[in-house]
Structure 1
Amino acid sequence: MTIVIGVGDRFRRDDGAGPAVVEALRGRMPDGVVPAVTDGEPARLIELWAGADLAIVVDAVRAEPSRPGRLHEIGPDAAPRSGGAASSHALGLGEAVALGRAVERMPETLRVLAVEGAEFGWGCELTPPVAAAVEEAAERILALLARRRTPFEGRDLA
């Protein structure tokens, strides 16, 4: 199983980038790829990705210096913990990775696509630079999914 997980809160401006990317991917992903959205709570993330061959997590991050809309592809060991300035959640992806490893419920491969955000207060709209990055993030994910499957057999290459 392959899963694409959008992490975030659609009611906190740029924190909704992950769910917006998953929405942009609907109907465009290969058969067998599961779309999901969650608030980023570690136990929910672990349940979503447990047993997956590939889990792609899309999340908004804060960065210094900030360049809203910039995309970062990071590995699970670089996933931010809540103690750092990068996470936009009380408990972050880094805690989910640490807990997933401790309870042996990690996907075979975890890829993280982080979208730099600008505003995380209340509101339903993404800021313009983050909204503009949604399609680029979706295209990167589609390219990754295409590289992992052969057109003839539909099986993972990794």
Structure 2
Amino acid sequence: MRDGTGTVEPRILVAGIGNIFCQDDGFGPAVAGRLHGRPRHPAVRVVDYGIRGMHLAFDLLDGVDALVLVDALPGAGEPGELTVLQVGPDDIGDAPFDAHAMSPVAVLASLGSLGGQLPPTIVVGCRPLDVGPGIGLTPVVSRAVAGAVAEVEERVGRLVADLPTPHAAGTRPRPEA
């Protein structure tokens, strides 16, 4: 991606995933909302995808250097517990893609068949208490949002530190003598 000066800028995508109409499933959008008001590196883009899986797939096909997914993460553990996972192609498997729903696994699994590839991916997840109908996070998951914001910022900071220095399009950095 080129900025207005012709410089090639690496990109890190932070994707909030979830349905705000299903209580704790809205965890990812809540974290993305908090991140929007905070300063960040220009190579970092924060998007609340909600349940728009097709939009996430298209943005990933456009190319990113790294992906940080933030989502409610069902499974064993206490509600409100944060979990951080590194995800690679072997972790994804196959899942049917539904353009009208949001299954992060299905979106990521579909990238190869759509002509893309899975970027280095980190998932910051929170164990939900209730994903039934309702607007707003339960108190225990709401309290986890601040910790998730800090975790995302820490992980993104590491990713930014590992990015190559942007350089003018068509040029390469000169080796130091």
Q: What TM-score, normalized by structure 1, do the two folds share?
A: 0.79
1:1-158 alignment, distance < 5 Å: 1-26=11-36, 27-50=38-61, 51-63=63-75, 65-74=76-85, 75-76=87-88, 77-78=90-91, 92-150=103-161, 156=163
RMSD: 2.5
Q: How many residues align?
A: 147
Structure 2 match to 1:86: none
AA of the residue aligned to 1:22: A
Which ranges of structure 2 fall in alignment gaps of 5 or more residues? 1-10, 165-177
Identity over aligned pairs, percent: 25
Is the Cα–Cα contact under 8 Å of residues 13 and 124 in structure 1 kept in the other structure?
yes
Structure 1 unaligned spans of 5+: 84-89
Matched residue, 1:87: none
Amino acid aligned to 2:154? A
**Partner Cα distance (1:43, 1:126) in 2:** 25
CA distance in 2 between counterparts of 1:125 and 1:35 reads: 21
- The alignment partner of 1:134 has SS state of helix
Q: Deviations over 1:103-152 (max 9, x none)?
A: 232353221112110111222221111111111111111111212234xx
- Code of the aligned partner of 1:61: L
CA deviation map 1:67-120 (0-9, x unaligned): 11112222144459879xxxxxx6521111110122232353221112110111
Rg comparison, structure with higher value: 2
Measure the CA separation in 1 of the matches of 2:117 and 2:94.
17
Misfit runs of 4+, over 6 Å: 80-83
1:11-67, Cα deviation, whole Å (9 max, x unpaired): 21001100011111122322231111123454222112230001111111221x341
Q: Which amino acid aligns with 1:55?
A: L
* AA in 2 matched with 1:30: H
